[in-house]
Amino acid sequence: MKFNFTDLLTDHVSQERLARLISALAEIGKSDGDGVNRQALTPQDVAARKFLAEVAAGCGCEVYRDEAANVFFRRAGTTDGPPVVTGSHIDSQPTGGKFDGAYGVCAGLEMMAALNDAGVVTELPLEVAIWTNEEGCRFAPGSMGSAAFVQPELLSTFRESADSTGLRFGEALDDAANALQFIPLLPLNRPFSAFVEAHIEQGPVLEREGKTLGVVSGIQGVRWFRISVRGQTSHAGTTPREFRKDAVLVATELVQQAYAAANESDADLRLTVGRFEVSPGATNTIADGVTFTIDLRHPSDDVLDDFEARFRSWTRRQSACSISLEELMRHKPTPFSEKVRATVAEAAEQCGEPWRELLSGAFHDSMYLAEHCPTGMLFIPSKDGLSHHPAELSAPDELAWGAKALTLAMYRLANPSLDVAGQ
């Protein structure tokens, strides 16, 4: 049989109910205008978990949590096999919007409600996960919840990470556990049959090409570097050119060289210098220090290796200043499971909406889940490619199409006997 339930399932996904849930969630931590400031493990984040747990319980789900404050809503299957899991995160950037992360959790809950309304039970249990601290803006690094779920030995290190007030992640976790103690605990790293994350694209590709759905083939590799240039302060007016050790002169030359090389490299190479800090930072003082960052991304480790080697060689050349380079982060490209990609693609096709395959330029919790079980992602368009911004927006029908495709894909993955039946 060929997804006999397609219309039954998609007809029960409600655009209005989904929009209401997203709006209600956005009230918790609401900031200026349409913005959301709901950073990880703040009172707002904990309150949002309680609110969603009530919604899930109203859908007949069991609610669980783990030691990383990840929360799970489970809808029982006809068997007790490892669950098929969807979800995302509900923490936001300080100046975030309503959709980044929150959409994936709300779409999962809409799936639960649609399956209830359709009277459909799956073979394997279904779960919606809320992963803790994906954004990493309050406690670095990001994606602590999904990373600790997959590699529980990371948790003790994460617990030491402090926010800007000095409060440690471990203390915030303990406070959250206290507030959520009514929810039973499950172990970290328990088996999943598959994981599918719905998310806004956070880029302009789907909108530009008029696609409603994006089937994500993987997450590109990323490397972060911090480059420090050390010169010597001296007076802007009194120091002849040949005596200057001007860190701004040397650092801007490196930045321009990197941009020029990226521009001549593969079109998918993405280079960003997002921080550039000058000391002492006075108009009439030659700077003795610049620290800048490089964010480098590409789907191929070979391309990244090549660019990194060239850039490192430039930092070693003769200069009036000393230059040092420190690697801050490195993630290999993450290809997603072929089976999950194919299932999500088939669900998109069944929706009858235009879709394309694309790579994720951003990190997601799926980067860690891919080490744990067959994993994939589904994108919907972001207006103007905006995210981490109060104006981030996906249209109501796009939100609903994403939930429909998600429901179809999750249904398929949670019914392994459909494969045996030759589909």
Our finding on whether 235 is near a copy of itself (CB under 8 A) is yes
Q: How many CB atoms lie within 10 A of CB 396?
A: 13
Site track 287-316 with a copy of itself (rule: CB under 8 A), x = hit: x--x--x-x-x-------------------
Binding-residue total with a copy of itself (CB under 8 A): 58
In the bound state with a copy of itself, the residue whose beta carbon lies nearer, of 56 and 286, is: 286
- The minimum distance between CB 236 and a copy of itself, in angstroms, equals 4
For a copy of itself, the binding residue among 277, 326, 371, 419 (CB under 8 A) is: 277
Among 243, 301, 352, 354, binds a copy of itself (CB under 8 A): 243
Separation of CA 112 from chain center: 22
Among 6, 37, 151, 252, binds a copy of itself (CB under 8 A): 252
Nearer to a copy of itself, 335 or 385 (CB): 385
Q: How far is CA 203 from CA 107, 334, 381, in A?
A: 20, 18, 8
3-state secondary structure of 126: strand
Give the one residue of 302, 305, 327, 328 binding a copy of itself; rule: CB under 8 A. 328
Is 386 among the residues that bind a copy of itself (CB under 8 A)? yes
In terms of CB distance, is 259 or 423 closer to a copy of itself?
Answer: 259
Distance of alpha carbon 334 from alpha carbon 366, whole angstroms: 9
Least Å from the CB of residue 296 to a copy of itself? 9
Q: Which residues contact 203 (CB under 8 A, 6 or more apart)?
A: 361, 362, 382, 385
The answer to whether the beta carbons of residues 213 and 205 sit under 8 Å apart is no
Q: Which stretch binds a copy of itself (CB under 8 A): 3-11, 172-180, 199-207, 339-347?
A: 199-207
Is 246 known to sit in a ligand binding site? no
Closer Cβ to a copy of itself, 266 or 349, answer by number: 266
Q: Output the CA torsion 356→358→362→367 (10° steps).
A: 110
For residues 356 and 212, the answer to whether their CB atoms sit within 8 Å is: no
Tokens representing 229 are 């240039």
Supply the minimum distance, in Å, between the C-beta of residue 152 and a copy of itself: 26
Residue 372 annotated as binding? no
Nearest to 169 by CA among 42, 348, 51, 282: 42
Task: Report DSSP state, residue 152.
Answer: G
When the beta carbons of 122 and 382 are compared against a copy of itself, the nearer one is 382
Residue 236 in contact with a copy of itself, rule: CB under 8 A: yes
Structural contact between residues 295 and 276, judged by C-beta atoms closer than 8 angstroms? no
Report yes or no: 334 and 195 within 8 Å, Cβ to Cβ.
no
Query: Kind and range of the H or E element at 334?
Result: strand 334-335
| Candidate ranges 21-29, 59-67, 106-114, 240-248; the one touching a copy of itself (CB under 8 A) | 240-248
Q: What is the token pair recorded at 127?
A: 């779960």
Please identify, using beta-carbon distances, which residue of 20 and 310 lies nearer to a copy of itself. 310
199 assigned ligand-binding residue = yes
Nearest-approach distance from CB 277 to a copy of itself, in angstroms: 8
Q: Which residues contact 100 (CB under 8 A, 6 or more apart)?
A: 92, 93, 199, 200, 202, 387, 388, 392
Identify whether the C-beta of residue 255 lies closer than 8 Å to the C-beta of residue 292: yes
Q: Shortest Cβ distance from residue 257 to a copy of itself (Å)?
A: 9
Does the annotation flag 331 for ligand binding? Answer: no
Touching a copy of itself, residues 44-103 (CB under 8 A): none
Is residue 234 within the footprint of a copy of itself (CB under 8 A)?
yes
Q: Is 220 in the site for a copy of itself (CB under 8 A)?
A: yes
Complex with a copy of itself: residue 335 or 416, whichever CB lies closer: 335
Is 66 annotated in a binding site? The answer is no
Ramachandran region, residue 302 (left: φ > 0; alpha: ψ -120 to 50; beta: rest): alpha
Residues that constitute the known binding site for Zn(2+): 89, 100, 135, 199, 388
